[in-house]
Each structure stands twice: as C-alpha cells, then as structure tokens.
Amino acid sequence: MAQADVLSAMPQQRIGRPADPCTMVIFGAAGDLTRRKLIPALYNLATNQLLSREFAVVGVARTQISEDEFRKRITNDIQQFASNGVDRDLWEWFLRRLHYVHGDFKDSNLYPRLKETLDKVDAEHSTHGNHLYYLATAADYFGPIVEQLAGVGLMHEGGEHWRRVIVEKPFGHDLESAKNLNQQLLKVADERQIYRIDHYLGKETVQNILAFRFANGIFEPIWNRRYIDHIQISVAETVGVESRGSYYDQAGALRDMVPNHIMQLISLTAMEPPVSFRADAVRDEQAKILHAIQPLSAEDVLSKTVRGQYGSGLINGERVPGYREEEGVPHDSKNETFVAMKLQIDNWRWADVPFYLRTGKRLPSRSTAVVIQFRRAPFVLFRDTPVENLMPNQLVMHIQPEEGISLRFAAKVPGPAMRLGAVDMNFEYADYFGSQPSTGYERLLHDCMIGDATLFQRADMVEAGWCVVSPVLDVWKALPPRNFPNYAAGTWGPRDAEDLLERDGRHWRDFEK
C-alpha cells in the first residue's frame, strides 16, 4: 500500500487532530518503559490516525547495536506488548521512521552525533525540526541530558519549530532535591518546554473526574462542606515491590505515591472550577488546592499518619514473602510499604472536611478509588432503625481496575416492616463506551506533540506536593519504626490505619464486597 495511505486506511475513528510533525527522541530506548509503554502507545496513536505522517523516532541508549538490530528488537517487543494486535502495513510504516543512536547520556560526544542524526532524520521525514525529547532514564540523568542538548543547540526554539522535554517521576526525593531539579531544568529550558508526566493523568477515569464534576449541573452544588462528610482516597495494590526492590527501598510508599499520584487525585477532586480548560487555568486551580493543604505539625504526623511494612502472608490464597525477603531489600529494612494519612484543606469549600488517604503494596485487592461520603440524613423518620443500617450516601469514582462511578443510597427492603438496605447505582465505562485498549500514555504523548500541557505538572505543583509530605518524611526519619513488619500481606495494612478513621467514627470503604 502507498505509504501515505497506510494511516488513513486504518479502521479506528480518529477523535482529535493529528499531532504536529515531529521527531521523538527517546533516551533510554532499550529500557522497559520504551518497550512496554512508549512504542505501543505511539503505535496506538498511529492506528487512530493521531500521529502526523511527518513523524520519526530516534532511540538513544548505551547498547552498541545497529539501527537494523534496534528495529528487530522493537518488532519483537511490539508483538508482545501491543494492546490490540499489530497491522503489518502500519508497522512497516512505523519501522521506516525508527532510528537509533548509541552512547552514554553523560558523554558530551554523544550530542553532536545526535544532532547530526536529527538533521538527517528531520530532512528525510519532513518533521520541521520539531523535537520531543522523552527522558525514559533514571532521574539523575534529567539535568545532564537537558544541559547537553542545550549545549549543542538542540533545545533552541527558533522560527517555526518547537523543542519539548518529557520527564517522569521521581522528581527528586524531597522538597530540596525537587527544587534543585527544577532549577537545573529551568536554567536551560523554559517552563513551557518541560512536560512532567504523572501517568495517573493519562488514565481516562482520572480525567473523567473533571468531566464528571464540571459537565454535570447536579453534583457541583453539593460538592462542599455543607453536604460532604469526608473524602477517602484509596490506592491499593496486591503486587509487592516486584523487581524494583532497590529503588523502592530508597523511596517507600510515601514518596512513591503521595506527592504525585495521590496529590493529582486530591487536586482534581477538590479544585474550584477553572475558568477554561486552558492548561494554566486548570493547573492554577490544582495548585491552589495543593497550597491549601494544611501543613502537618510534628504532633499531627504522630496522630494523623500511619506507616506500615508487609510481612509474609496470603494473596489470592498463595503465600507470598514479606517485604524484607524481597530481592534487593535489606533484611532489616525500615522502609514503609503502606501509608495512611488524614489531611485537611484550608479553604472555604473544604474547611473541616477530612481527606483520608491510604496506599500500600500487598493489600487484599487492587483498587484505586475516590470515595465521597455525604452527610447522613436526619434520623427523624427512621428513629427505630439501627444506625448501622442507615448507610450514608457514598459516591465512588472507581479509577481502576473497575472503571466507573457508583452511588450508594438506602432503599426499603421489601416486606411489611420499614427496613432499610444499602443499594448501588452503577455506571461502568465498558457498558457505554466499550473498552479501548490503551497503555495510558497515548493521550499524554499526543498532548505534548500538540503543545497542550493541561495534564502535565508544573514546577510549582511538584514542589507543593513535596511540601505536603516533607514534615512526614522528617518526623519518620527522626523516629524510625520499631514494629515493622506490622501487617501481613493480604490484609488492609496495620490496625492503626483502621483506628485513624474509627477515632472519628468513620470506616474505610470495603472494596472486597
């Protein structure tokens, strides 16, 4: 088939405009992220006619292999990781646009060679000199790579072309290192050239929080302290640390999940309506929420946060090792694999409404959800009903693996007496929209290629996220835990996590029922 026709002949319907012409340069092209997510995501974009015809990829990695060998490897990988089969013609179209440069990211000799390759690739594929640099590397390389790119003129935006950089967490390991990293990047690039990915924002269900809140007239009027009792955010995983023991042992559940993914969920749930969907309008409102989170004092850290580490236990009936027995983890590790916290947002809408968060590894079921619990109805009519039967209304935004929204309310149990039972009204994505195979990176890559930064984090947001967890990191460091491991794999974390809510007369939503 003629090259230009391959894209338009693809069956799926395009929603949105194709991206700008560009060359995407992937640093870390031999790594897992590239094989599992980036290439399959680019392929899905091509399938949906969302890539420009004037497009190319340049992989950069240390491995000294030829371009042909690189193409062969990527072809093997796509068979394994494509979300929905691979079309031969389209894949060939894609392969012709795939190039490779080897070198050490810190070696200054790499960059003039890369520049030469990019000049050729730009000319061959008419990519207009637009470059998207994806740093799929360890965070230590972010600063040096961007500096070296700038050194050979590859960050310079002149005339008609753009230059953008995507980086993905970890953005530092505390507030100070995050600030340093931002400074390093901003020394040679403009904030609008930097796209900080939080892969949670690539999830449809996370983006849907905005649609749900602001495209429907009926929820926003009750989305405040007058009607909402509290909010729970649970990010539960059944997996352990997998093969990432040595990274995870330096990070821990708090750094790994809270300043980034969980802060995204909080800010989208709690933000004020933005004046438009322009990137900065949305991000300004998100940032305001992050800044309004009440800083925890040392006493608060002791009473409002809980940390845990899993010991051995049963997941789906199978025995799994404790954290300290995992590969790459010291046998006396004091690192936490579970965290729960109670936060308050100091603003007019949320005063006195607690936000309870919990996240952990090796919990009994995988589920990420935001639970909005409304205030109870007055008891007047149902005075004789046991209080536990008067279930408060809960609206649950199920992020994953269930994707949907459910509303729990009380209904009369059929029979002669007035008895109440809790029932759920459910919306599931798959029922309405089918399931779209996706890696979660498609939208983010496409947005970067069209210059839409709405779903990316600004420097100030990253720093605000770290401000929230900083006091916790400090207190936890000063007082190492004495009782680890303190929960068995396959349970919902340490008992203290239940107490955190029970003290306030509340309970975590049960996701196993």
Q: For residue 177, give the amino acid letter.
A: S
Asked if residue 204 binds ligand BG6 (CB under 6 A), the reply is no
| Burial profile 183-192: b = 16 or more Cβ within 10 angstroms, e = fewer | eebeebbeee
Residue with smaller CB distance to ligand BG6, 125 or 199: 199
Q: Residue for token digits 């310079």?
A: 156
Sign of the CA dihedral with 319 first, then 323, 327, and 332 last: negative
The answer to whether 375 touches 224, Cβ cutoff 8 Å, is: no
DSSP H/E element including 301: helix 298-304
Active site residues: 261
Q: Residue for token digits 């007239």?
A: 217
| Least distance between ligand BG6 and beta carbon 18 (Å) | 27
- CA proximity to 397, closest of 215, 216, 197, 231: 231
Residue with smaller CB distance to ligand BG6, 20 or 256: 256
- The count of other CB atoms within 10 Å of the CB of residue 508 is 19
Q: Is 431 helix (H, G, I), strand (E, B) or coil?
A: helix
Residue with smaller CB distance to ligand BG6, 34 or 52: 34
Sign of the CA dihedral with 379 first, then 384, 388, and 390 last: negative
| Least distance between ligand BG6 and beta carbon 12 (Å) | 23
Extended strands (E) in 13-168? 22-27, 55-61, 98-102, 131-135, 163-168
| Least distance between ligand BG6 and beta carbon 239 (Å) | 6
Q: What single-letter DSSP state applies at residue 282? A: H
| Least distance between ligand BG6 and beta carbon 298 (Å) | 27
Q: What is the dihedral of CA 78, 79, 84, 85, to 10 degrees?
A: 120
Residue with smallest beta-carbon separation from ligand BG6: 256
Residues 230, 390, 424: CA angle, nearest 5 degrees: 75
| Least distance between ligand BG6 and beta carbon 366 (Å) | 8
Residue with smaller CB distance to ligand BG6, 125 or 203: 203
- Window 246-265: contact mask with ligand BG6 (x via CB under 6 A): ----------x---------
- Window 333-372: contact mask with ligand BG6 (x via CB under 6 A): -----------------------------------x----
| Least distance between ligand BG6 and beta carbon 211 (Å) | 20
Q: Total number of residues binding ligand BG6 (CB under 6 A)?
A: 4
Residue with smaller CB distance to ligand BG6, 253 or 296: 253
Site for ligand BG6 in 255-314 (CB under 6 A): 256
Residue with smaller CB distance to ligand BG6, 70 or 466: 466
Site for ligand BG6 in 182-201 (CB under 6 A): 199
Alpha-carbon radius of gyration of the chain: 25
Site for ligand BG6 in 209-238 (CB under 6 A): 237
Using CB under 6 A as the criterion, which residues of the chain lie in contact with ligand BG6 when the complex forms? Answer: 199, 237, 256, 368
